[in-house]
Protein backbone atom coordinates (compact mmCIF):
# COMPACT_ATOMS: atom_id res chain seq x y z
CA UNK A 1 0.00 0.00 0.00
CA UNK A 2 1.13 3.53 -0.82
CA UNK A 3 -0.53 6.91 -0.78
CA UNK A 4 -0.32 8.30 -4.28
CA UNK A 5 -1.75 11.84 -4.01
CA UNK A 6 -3.72 14.16 -1.73
CA UNK A 7 -6.26 16.62 -3.16
CA UNK A 8 -7.38 19.14 -0.53
CA UNK A 9 -10.63 21.13 -0.24
CA UNK A 10 -11.22 23.76 2.44
CA UNK A 11 -14.62 23.75 4.14
CA UNK A 12 -16.24 25.56 7.05
CA UNK A 13 -15.33 22.61 9.31
CA UNK A 14 -11.75 22.07 8.18
CA UNK A 15 -10.01 20.45 5.26
CA UNK A 16 -11.33 17.49 3.32
CA UNK A 17 -8.74 15.39 1.56
CA UNK A 18 -9.07 12.83 -1.18
CA UNK A 19 -6.20 10.43 -0.75
CA UNK A 20 -5.00 8.24 -3.60
CA UNK A 21 -4.85 4.81 -1.96
CA UNK A 22 -2.60 2.70 -4.16
CA UNK A 23 -2.62 -1.06 -3.65
CA UNK A 24 0.63 -2.41 -5.12
CA UNK A 25 -0.44 -6.06 -5.40
CA UNK A 26 -3.74 -5.27 -7.13
CA UNK A 27 -2.32 -2.27 -9.07
CA UNK A 28 -5.47 -0.25 -8.24
CA UNK A 29 -5.92 3.31 -6.98
CA UNK A 30 -8.97 4.33 -4.94
CA UNK A 31 -10.21 7.70 -3.63
CA UNK A 32 -10.22 7.55 0.17
CA UNK A 33 -11.57 10.45 2.25
CA UNK A 34 -9.47 11.99 5.02
CA UNK A 35 -9.91 15.05 7.22
CA UNK A 36 -7.73 17.71 8.88
CA UNK A 37 -8.36 20.73 11.09
CA UNK A 38 -4.92 22.27 10.50
CA UNK A 39 -3.80 20.92 7.08
CA UNK A 40 -0.81 19.14 8.66
CA UNK A 41 -2.30 16.27 10.70
CA UNK A 42 -4.77 14.07 8.82
CA UNK A 43 -7.26 11.45 10.01
CA UNK A 44 -8.56 8.52 7.97
CA UNK A 45 -11.58 7.40 10.01
CA UNK A 46 -13.36 5.44 7.25
CA UNK A 47 -10.42 3.67 5.54
CA UNK A 48 -12.56 2.71 2.59
CA UNK A 49 -13.14 4.28 -0.84
CA UNK A 50 -15.35 7.36 -1.11
CA UNK A 51 -16.07 6.49 -4.75
CA UNK A 52 -16.16 2.80 -5.58
CA UNK A 53 -14.38 1.62 -8.70
CA UNK A 54 -16.74 0.07 -11.22
CA UNK A 55 -16.86 -3.62 -12.06
CA UNK A 56 -14.38 -4.74 -14.74
CA UNK A 57 -15.66 -4.05 -18.25
CA UNK A 58 -18.58 -1.80 -17.22
CA UNK A 59 -16.97 1.68 -17.39
CA UNK A 60 -13.58 3.29 -17.65
CA UNK A 61 -13.32 3.62 -13.84
CA UNK A 62 -12.48 -0.01 -13.12
CA UNK A 63 -8.78 0.06 -12.14
CA UNK A 64 -7.68 3.56 -11.14
CA UNK A 65 -9.32 6.75 -9.88
CA UNK A 66 -7.45 10.07 -9.64
CA UNK A 67 -8.71 13.28 -8.05
CA UNK A 68 -6.37 15.95 -9.45
CA UNK A 69 -8.38 18.90 -8.11
CA UNK A 70 -10.37 20.06 -5.10
CA UNK A 71 -14.10 19.53 -4.69
CA UNK A 72 -16.43 22.31 -5.86
CA UNK A 73 -19.57 23.40 -4.03
CA UNK A 74 -22.52 24.62 -6.08
CA UNK A 75 -26.27 24.84 -5.31
CA UNK A 76 -25.90 22.94 -2.04
CA UNK A 77 -24.03 19.97 -3.54
CA UNK A 78 -20.37 19.02 -3.68
CA UNK A 79 -18.94 18.07 -7.09
CA UNK A 80 -15.74 16.21 -7.88
CA UNK A 81 -14.34 15.94 -11.37
CA UNK A 82 -11.98 12.98 -11.37
CA UNK A 83 -10.21 10.68 -13.80
CA UNK A 84 -10.98 7.00 -14.17
CA UNK A 85 -8.86 4.41 -15.94
CA UNK A 86 -9.50 0.82 -17.04
CA UNK A 87 -5.85 -0.25 -16.76
CA UNK A 88 -3.53 -1.39 -14.00
CA UNK A 89 -1.09 1.15 -12.62
CA UNK A 90 1.84 -0.80 -14.09
CA UNK A 91 0.03 -0.96 -17.50
CA UNK A 92 0.25 -4.77 -17.63
CA UNK A 93 -3.51 -5.43 -17.55
CA UNK A 94 -6.66 -3.72 -18.78
CA UNK A 95 -10.38 -4.22 -18.46
CA UNK A 96 -11.07 -3.99 -22.16
CA UNK A 97 -9.16 -4.03 -25.43
CA UNK A 98 -7.22 -0.77 -24.85
CA UNK A 99 -6.08 1.54 -22.06
CA UNK A 100 -8.79 4.15 -21.65
CA UNK A 101 -9.18 7.20 -19.39
CA UNK A 102 -12.24 9.36 -18.85
CA UNK A 103 -13.12 12.48 -16.90
CA UNK A 104 -15.97 11.64 -14.55
CA UNK A 105 -18.21 13.51 -12.11
CA UNK A 106 -19.33 12.48 -8.63
CA UNK A 107 -21.67 14.54 -6.44
CA UNK A 108 -22.92 14.46 -2.87
CA UNK A 109 -24.84 16.69 -0.49
CA UNK A 110 -22.61 16.37 2.60
CA UNK A 111 -18.93 15.72 3.16
CA UNK A 112 -18.96 15.35 6.95
CA UNK A 113 -20.90 12.67 8.75
pLDDT in tens, 55-68: 998 889 999 999 98
pLDDT band at 111 (very low <50, low <70, confident <90, very high): confident
pLDDT for 25-44, tens place per residue? 999 999 999 999 999 999 99
Question: pLDDT tens-digit profile of 73-88?
Answer: 999 999 999 999 999 9
What 8-state DSSP symbol labels residue 4?
A: E
With beta carbons less than 8 A apart as the criterion, state whether 79 and 107 touch.
Answer: yes
pTM for the whole structure:
0.88
CA 95 to chain centre: 19
Q: What are the CA-CA distances from residue 4 to residues 48, 76, 97, 108 (Å)?
A: 15, 30, 26, 23
Mean pLDDT value of segment 1-15: 91
Amino acid sequence: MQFYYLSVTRSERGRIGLLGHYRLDAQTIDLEPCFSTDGITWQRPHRKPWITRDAPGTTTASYILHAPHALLQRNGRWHLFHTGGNFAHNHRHTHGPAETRAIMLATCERLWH
